[in-house]
Structure 1
Amino acid sequence: MPRRACPACDFVHWGNYSIGVGALVVRDNRFLLVRRAEDPGRGVWTNPGGYTEQMESIHRTVEREVFEETGVTATVERVVALRDQPRQVHNLYVAFSLRYERGEPRADGVEVDDVGFFTVDEMEGMNVAGLTRWLIEVARTSNGHGLSLDHSEYVTSDQNWLFRADGGLTVE
């Protein structure tokens, strides 16, 4: 694919990208949801989430977004799903399962105007976004499988965060 580049300095413009993150936090068989107070999606219930900052790792981003939007502290366990959305600004959305640590849900009053933990049955009567419904289904049926944070002896840079699949390939 042709790309814009500068022949004088070897700069290559790789394109415009954004990385979104989403959180699936469960407490007592209930999923943490937020109701969006702003467009897009005003009035729609979604899982908490947001976008990474330039020098922020994605697993720290999702933990921060959960706390900012809901007041709940949660810790990343694994990556459960990805959404790839190629468009003018190419968006990659990474959904994480997080372990509930502490805190009672409270809306931030800016991005979110309501928040709570809900069962799947309670969500039936709610205006829950399709992507959120899909993510909850994926989380419920993944049996704890996904990509978990790995602290490797082979890649030790503080600038690399690695996630690995449980199990491995069978090599004969």
Structure 2
Amino acid sequence: MDKQEKKQSMKQDKLIDWAKRLQSLAQAGLTYGKDNFDLERYQEIRDISAEMMAEKSGLPIEKVKELFCNEVGYQTPKLATRAAIFKDDKILLVQENDGTWSIPGGWCEVNLSVKENVVKEIKEEAGIDIAVEKLIAIHDSNKHYKGMYPYGITTVFFLCKPTGGSFTENDETIGSEYFALDNLPELSEDKGSKKQVEMCFKAYHNPNWQAEFE
């Protein structure tokens, strides 16, 4: 990437950040505003933020509004869990429908703790049962990978041990395999980063690992 391309990419990232901030402010206004005229203005700001995201992503405005403007109440980060599972010094990754790979995990359910959630997600995505052994990290995902989400994402990583089960293709994943750190496949840009995979290896090798948090 040359200097001009890098400058353009940074400008586009700023536009995404501005659109997210406008969306958040508009949502708060729609939640707490009382005056009808103010509510109309907040809705217009929300519509403008969706138009900005549609311009950047190339998606139809209707699809962007479905993804970007469907929250109610005060906007807060969503919570997700990921499980670092090792065998023979290799980490378990699952293959997404688009062919890329990721550390298995997913959004937290409202009726489950983060520990219960990671157990459920790994069973669904990788088909295996696990024992949750250690907290690896609590990450602000916006600092580690880029997505088109209007909200922040807090991801909790756990070191886990497989105890049974086997993979079955499902609606979310089409494959499951263990990989060495020096032989990683193409990773999903929306589900994590190579640095986070490297972090999981470090936690696995270090019995005195101290959980990272941001």
Q: TM-score, normalised by structure 1?
A: 0.67
Partner of 1:27: 87
Correspondent of 2:120 among 61, 64, 67: 64
Correspondent of 1:95 among 141, 157, 166: 157
Flag structure 2 segments of 5+ consecutive residues without an equivalent: 1-24, 35-72, 143-148
Partner of 1:127: 186
- Secondary structure of the 1:89 match is coil
User: How large is the RMSD of aligned CA atoms in angstroms?
Assistant: 2.5
1:14 offset after TM fit, Å? 3.8
Equivalent residues in 2 for 1:91-170, closer than 5 Å = 91-104=153-166, 106-123=167-184, 126-129=185-188, 131-142=192-203, 143-144=206-207, 145-147=209-211
Deviation string 1:54-97 (CA, Å, 9 cap, x unpaired) is: 12101111111111111111111122122214663221111111
Query: Is 1:75 aligned to 2:134, yes or no?
Result: no
CA contact (8 A) 1:16 1:88 kept: no
Q: What percent of counterpart residues are identical?
A: 21
Q: Distance in 2 between matches of 1:89 and 1:121?
A: 33
Q: Distance in 2 between matches of 1:24 and 1:85?
A: 16
1:121 offset after TM fit, Å? 3.0
Partner of 1:45: 101
Which segment is superposed worse, 79-88 or 14-23?
79-88
Q: Distance in 2 between matches of 1:129 and 1:15?
A: 26
Partner of 2:15: none
- Secondary structure of the 1:98 match is strand
1:28 offset after TM fit, Å? 1.9
Give the number of aligned pairs. 135
Q: Distance in 1 between matches of 2:164 and 2:90?
A: 14
Relative distance call for 1:117 and 1:46 in structure 2 (3 A) is same
Q: TM-score, normalised by structure 2?
A: 0.55
Partner of 2:5: none
The answer to which structure has the higher helix fraction is 2
Relative distance call for 1:136 and 1:58 in structure 2 (3 A) is same
The answer to which structure has the higher strand fraction is 1
